[in-house]
Amino acid sequence: MLTVLRINMPQLGESVTEGTVSNWLVQVGDYVEKYDAIAEVMTDKVNAEVPSSYSGVIKELIAEEGETIEVGQLMCYIEAEGEENEQTSSAPAPESNDEASVEQNMKTRYSPVVMRLAGEHQIDLSTVTGSGKGGRITRKDIEKVIDSGQTSTVDNTEPMSTQEESTAEQEDLEEFTPPIIRRKTVQAKPGDREIPVTGLRRTIAQNMVRSKTEIPHAWMMIEVDVTNLVAYRNAEKDKFKENEGYNLSYFAFFLNAVAKALKKFPELNSCWAGDKIIQRNEINLSIAVAHGHELYVPVIKNVDEKSIKGIAKEIAQLSNKARTGTLTKDDMEDGTFTVNNTGSFGSVESMGVINYPQSAILQVESIVKRPVIIDDMFAARDMVNLCLSLDHRVLDGVICGAFMSHVKAILENISSETTPIY
Residues identified as active-site: 392, 396
7 burial type by CB count under 10 A (0-12 exposed, 13-18 middle, 19+ buried): buried
